Amino acid sequence: MSITVGIIMGSQSDWPTMKNAATILDELGIAYETKIVSAHRTPDRLWEYGKTAVERGLKVIIAGAGGAAHLPGMMASKTRVPVVGVPVQTKALSGVDSLYSILQMPKGYPVATMAIGAAGAANAGLMAAGILATSDDALAARLDKWRADLSASIPQEPTDD
């Protein structure tokens, strides 16, 4: 199974958040790679990753970062592979800094920005799955089942427990 999704993050400290994207991809049987690629600390690594993304067969890049979160936007500037951005929650500003850093891209270099934190990372995995499912019927069926299972797990009425 070839790797079609790259999960990249600015720091090891982002992994507890970003692994929520990996979990979704595991559940849906999608092959992926995980890399630490920092816009500020390893800019050459970022450039190389973006430069080779198409030729390496990546179809979606999930990029998570916190604070002055330039990684998703810079990656979008370097490759036409769709970038899904995950704002990592921060201590100082609760991730609003990350969100605004990722969200407000100038025309021409889009980043599909998710919610702050774990839910955003999980949704990034689902967004990647949805993109890949447009050209993969077997994956589309698995994603439809995943969504139906989630829907079926929601109780009709609340309980006290």
What CA–CA distance (Å, rounded) separates 87 from 114?
7
Residue 114 engages ligand RP5 in binding (rule: CB under 6 A) = no
Q: Which of residues 2-21 bind ligand RP5 (CB under 6 A)?
A: 10-11, 13-14
Name the residue nearer to ligand RP5 (CB basis): 92 or 154. Answer: 92
Q: Which of residues 138-157 bind ligand RP5 (CB under 6 A)?
A: none
Q: Which of residues 46-85 bind ligand RP5 (CB under 6 A)?
A: 65-67
Specify the DSSP element, H or E, that contains 87: strand 83-88
Count residues contacting ligand RP5 (CB under 6 A)? Answer: 10
Name the residue nearer to ligand RP5 (CB basis): 99 or 133. Answer: 99
Instruction: Kindly report each contact of residues 150-155 with a partner whose C-beta sits within 8 Å and lies 24 or more positions away, as own/partner.
Output: none
Neighbours of 8 (CB within 10 A): 26
Please name the amino acid found at residue 9: M
Report the number of secondary-structure helices (H) and strands (E) in the chain. Answer: 6, 5
Q: Interface with ligand RP5 by CB under 6 A: which residues? A: 10-11, 13-14, 38, 40, 65-67, 88
Binding residues for substrate: 11, 14, 41
